[in-house]
Amino acid sequence: MKEKILQYIKSFNWKLLFIFAAACILLAIINNFRVGEDRSVEWIGTQKVMEKPEGF
């Protein structure tokens, strides 16, 4: 079973997967510059912190 998984992973076209990932990242960055602040993509660690409700 482990050998089949390793063979499957080795069969990936890693160069193509890397190109697709880089294109997605580039498009996300371009999109953030193009659209307004209210419609832009929130990046990891940049989410707004909600205020603590009263009574807590």
Q: How does pLDDT run across 2-56, given as a tens digit for each residue?
A: 898 888 888 888 899 999 999 998 998 888 888 877 777 666 666 677 788 887 7
Q: State how far the Cα of 29 lies from the Cα of 39, in Å rounded to an integer.
A: 13
2, 12 Cβ separation under 8 angstroms: no
Give the C-alpha distances (Å, rounded to integers) separating 5 from 11, 14, 15.
10, 15, 19
pTM of this prediction? 0.55
